[in-house]
């Protein structure tokens, strides 16, 4: 059965590009905050909220976990994120997303592609569509960002999977067509939901490891590729920039195994130092590691910002790992396509600017990993 997820058409969608509208919303927000004055209760950002970990232990994910979890509420974010590691150090980072920015604009779906080291060059492109055109086909286990655009993933895991991303922007055309096989089943921790105060943060690793093959085409240059891939799925019931200060993925596909983890450091509103999970397979079994703390050991500057260079992860099991990044591929801002006053105003509304960093590193000085760091600057 195929179904659409629709949003209500509204004047917000038409006037969002207007700086006047953005200024008006910020003025209204400022007046509202000022009118409350000293009677205003402690805000979530100032409070020290409790955090509840997921209920249950390690379990396999299914199609119901893959489906969108956030289709209502004033604010939400949801991401299906692929990291693909191909021959000749070619790396793809593909994200499908849903987002609702409340009064700022109507809910949208989005697709973002980073390509690192394609004949020595880096590329990135982002597309955004009205949520009215977001499409789900349950029979084909397919999620498509827009009924009229070829940006989708499909296939019942772990039997089969395909990612297709075709678009053109600013005179550059992109076509990513990847088939997945030898797919390891996905997992999550219990129900997969971390509860931070009144908000939820979901985390599911649907593909800890798979083999991939297909084509990567940019303009008139096409490559036949093969390698491995990882995919996770997260959501927040508030803006990411409001809930998360830093996020960190490490992905290792050594031999036929995997060692993967995704951790987020919440804002001050949470008592938790870190939330997330790690998965490791050995002797044909998969082990769940629950993070207890994440301590930044050192930083260095990338693109003018201070970014963690090494940090120590301690787990509830007593195990520890020290991660160090060794090679940086590229970094991209979620607000990259905005400029000037529009960028400053949107950045203020969101509470910061999310920048993603991708590259290579090592765990405990030995295990090679690929990393993805998200930071709110």
How far is Cα 30 from Cα 16, in angstroms, rounded to an integer?
A: 19
The CATH number of whichever domain residue 42 belongs to comes to 2.40.370.10
Does position 4 have pLDDT exceeding 70, yes or no? no
Counting residues of the chain whose pLDDT is more than 90, the rounded percentage is 58
pLDDT for 49 equals 61
Q: How many domains does the chain have?
A: 1
How far is Cα 85 from Cα 91, in angstroms, rounded to an integer?
A: 5
Say if pTM beats, i.e. exceeds, 0.95.
Answer: no
| Better-predicted residue by pLDDT, 63 or 103 | 63
Q: Which domain holds residue 31?
A: 2-376
CB 358 within 8 A of CB 90: no
pLDDT for 42 equals 39
Where do the DSSP E strands lie in 102-198? 108-118, 121-130, 134-137, 142-144, 151-154, 161-169, 172-181, 187-189, 193-196
pLDDT interval class at 12 (50, 70, 90) = very low
| Section 170-178 average pLDDT | 96
Mean pLDDT of the chain: 82
The bridge status of strand 187-189 relative to strand 221-236 is unpaired
């Amino acid at each position: 059965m195929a179904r659409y997820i629709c949003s209500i058409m509204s004047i917000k969608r038409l006037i969002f590009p207007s700086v006047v509208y953005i200024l008006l919303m910020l003025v209204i927000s400022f007046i509202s905050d000022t009118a409350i004055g000293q009677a205003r209760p402690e805000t979530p950002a100032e409070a020290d909220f409790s955090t509840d970990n997921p209920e249950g232990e390690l379990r396999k994910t299914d199609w119901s976990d893959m489906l969108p979890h956030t289709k209502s509420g004033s604010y939400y974010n949801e991401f299906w994120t692929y990291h693909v590691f191909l021959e000749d150090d070619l790396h793809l980072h593909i994200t499908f997303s849903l987002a609702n920015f409340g009064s700022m604009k109507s809910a949208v779906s989005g697709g973002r592609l980073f390509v690192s080291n394609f004949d020595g060059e880096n590329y990135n492109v982002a597309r955004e569509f009205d949520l009215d055109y977001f499409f789900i086909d349950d029979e084909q286990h397919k999620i498509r960002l827009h009924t009229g655009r070829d940006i989708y993933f499909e296939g019942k895991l772990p039997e089969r999977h395909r990612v297709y991303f075709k678009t053109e922007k600013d005179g550059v055309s992109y076509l990513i067509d990847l088939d997945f096989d030898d797919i390891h089943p996905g997992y999550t921790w219990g129900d997969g939901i971390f509860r931070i105060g009144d908000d939820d943060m979901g985390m599911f690793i649907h593909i800890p490891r798979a083999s991939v093959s297909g084509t990567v085409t940019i303009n008139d240059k096409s490559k036949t590729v093969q390698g491995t891939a990882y995919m996770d799925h997260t959501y927040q019931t508030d803006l990411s920039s409001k809930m998360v200060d830093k996020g960190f993925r490490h992905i290792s596909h050594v031999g036929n195994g995997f060692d993967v983890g995704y951790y987020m450091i919440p804002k001050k509103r949470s008592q938790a130092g870190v939330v997330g999970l790690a998965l490791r397979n050995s002797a044909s079994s998969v082990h769940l590691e629950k993070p207890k703390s994440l301590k930044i050991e050192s930083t260095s500057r990338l693109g003018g910002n201070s970014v963690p260079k090494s940090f120590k992860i301690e787990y509830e099991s007593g195990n520890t790992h020290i991660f160090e990044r060794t090679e940086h591929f590229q970094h991209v801002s979620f607000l990259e396509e905005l400029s000037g006053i529009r960028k400053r105003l949107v950045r203020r509304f969101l509470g910061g600017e999310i920048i993603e960093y991708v590259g290579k590193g090592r765990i405990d000085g030995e295990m090679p990993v690929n990393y993805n760091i998200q930071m709110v600057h």
